[in-house]
Amino acid sequence: MGFFQRTGILAGLRSGAWLTGERVRGYSLILLGLGAAAIVGWLALSDAMIDRNGKPIGTDFSDPYAAGTLALAGKAADAYVPALQHDAERAVFGGRDVPFYGWHYPPFFFAVAMAVAALPYGWGLLLWLTSSLAAYLAMIRMVLPRPETLLVALAFPAVLVNIGHGQNGFLTAALLGGALHWLDRRPILAGVLIGLLAYKPQFGLLIPLALLAGGRWKPIGAAAATVAVLFALSVAAFGSGIWQAFAESTRFTQDVVLEQGNTGWEKIQSIFSAARNWGATVPVAYALQLLLALTVAASLAWLWRSTAQFELKASALATACLLATPYVLDYDLVVLAVSIGFFVRHGFARGFRDYEISMLAAAFIVPLLSRGIAAGTGIPLGLLALLSLYAFTLRRAVADCATPTAATALPAHS
């Protein structure tokens, strides 16, 4: 401790003075450059959309694309049968033996799968990533309308992780962040966005609780109506049996993908995965996950009933959505941009407290490091970052409630 005090490192971490605006821009440009170089190299070394490791470019994207081809052929239910889904994935790449990527989504997500599958694989991947990235950037610019926002949002390492997997982190963040942004301004629109988020049902565990605690009845009604319409449309398109196929497939998802760790413990950022990685049994890991979820739920309900500023409620909810589920992967950490964005917005308006800037910087860089550190050391860096961000948000909320101006409107930027 004496060394850190003498060198001023501890003081810098405490104040956050080390992270100047110039450094934010410089670090962001470095991360963007490294990310761009990685993507170019990845594509240059690929052969017919297969990388040097024998995996499809966009890896996980091959799963919705193959499911979309099945749906377009009138065989949507086959996507929920692992062997048939894997056959469809092989067919996409001319029969080459690519790894299996399961289709775990509710039937209404076939609409997206069919849209991208109507194009050649590479063009479908490009359409998916660019459109969902645009939605993510538009959302974060609304949450934090500052000149540097887009640069920092693009440089966020979770963006590169999500692109590498061809995954849906951009869409998840855009829907959740957009819903929170519009919640009080246009509650019906917010509810529709929350309803659309049902394509990732594991992230919706605590959203109804927060809305109920905050008395947001219009978004609740709009979200319920949206899910009902999505259900009806999927039944009309694929028949009622499609939901039975989905329900039966969830057992495979739970057993093989989550509990047995076939996805890789280092990729999953939950306390369940951390416990399993440390050797805990499945019941013990579930007990720890349940304990954390209940703790987060109780604190979130208090927060959304409190007089704390909405920005803190929004930041906490976005983080809580990631903490409550046992199945959250590193590409899902794009949602951290929502948490960080609302937190920073409140910080610019009210000032930052001790260690907050350094904590935010750590949360920002974690998606770049979490998988490698978890694989090499067993330390669940992503989980620790989520817990730290949530705790700091609650700390700020407690102080916010103690101020006489807590219920006043908060400007979007300084």
Beta bridge partners of 47: 50
Please indicate, yes or no, if residue 406 is contained in any of the structural domains: no
> pLDDT tens across 34-58, in order?
999 999 999 999 988 999 889 999 9
Whole-angstrom Cα distance, residue 240 to residue 244?
Answer: 7
Structure tokens at 349: 């308006």
Whole-angstrom Cα distance, residue 221 to residue 188?
Answer: 8
> pLDDT tens across 6-40, in order?
557 888 888 888 998 899 999 999 999 999 999 99
Contact 109, 64 (CB under 8 A): yes
CA angle in degrees (0–180, nearest 5) for 170-385-219: 50
From residue 333, give the alpha-carbon distance in Å to each of 238, 256, 339, 351, 370: 32, 22, 10, 25, 10
108 confidence band (pLDDT: 50, 70, 90): very high
Q: Percent of the chain, pLDDT > 70?
A: 96
266, 268, 297: which is closest to 379 by C-alpha?
Answer: 266
Using the CB atoms, write b or e for 48-61: b if 16+ within 10 Å.
ebebeeeebbbbbb
Q: Which residue has the higher pLDDT, 406 or 148?
A: 148
Whole-angstrom Cα distance, residue 242 to residue 248?
Answer: 10
Return mean pLDDT, the chain: 93
Q: Tell me the three state secondary structure of residue 56.
A: strand
Structure tokens at 130: 């660019």
Please indicate, yes or no, if residue 55 is contained in any of the structural domains: yes
- Compute the average pLDDT of residues 121-130: 97
> pLDDT tens across 181-226, in order?
999 999 999 999 999 999 999 998 999 999 999 999 999 999 999 9
User: What does 113-176 look like in DSSP terms, one character per residue?
Assistant: HHHHHTS-HHHHHHHHHHHHHHHHHHHHHHHS--TTHHHHHHH-HHHHHHHHHT-SHHHHHHHH
Please indicate, yes or no, if residue 2 is contained in any of the structural domains: no
Contact 197, 176 (CB under 8 A): yes
Q: Amino acid identity, residue 97?
A: D
Please indicate, yes or no, if residue 413 is contained in any of the structural domains: no
Structure tokens at 12: 């810098």
Q: Tell me, what's the pLDDT at 7? A: 55
Q: Tell me, what's the pLDDT at 215? A: 95
CA 351 from chain center: how many Å? 27
- Compute the average pLDDT of residues 265-285: 95
Please indicate, yes or no, if residue 345 is contained in any of the structural domains: yes
Q: Percent of the chain, pLDDT > 90?
A: 85
Structural domain containing residue 203:
9-401
How many structural domains does the chain have?
A: 1
Residue with tokens 């794009």: 334
Q: Tell me, what's the pLDDT at 259? A: 86
User: What does 229-268 look like in DSSP terms, one character per residue?
Assistant: HHHHHHHHHH-THHHHHHHHHHHHIIIIIIIS-TT-TTTB
Please indicate, yes or no, if residue 96 is contained in any of the structural domains: yes
Please indicate, yes or no, if residue 187 is contained in any of the structural domains: yes
Query: Phi/psi at 56 (nearest 5 deg)?
Result: -65, 145
- Compute the average pLDDT of residues 302-330: 96
Please indicate, yes or no, if residue 414 is contained in any of the structural domains: no
Contact 148, 25 (CB under 8 A): yes
Q: Tell me, what's the pLDDT at 163? A: 97
259, 247, 297, 306: which is closest to 77 by C-alpha?
Answer: 247
Residue with tokens 């990235």: 133
- Compute the average pLDDT of residues 353-370: 95
> pLDDT tens across 129-163, in order?
999 999 999 999 999 999 999 999 999 999 999 99
- Compute the average pLDDT of residues 239-260: 90
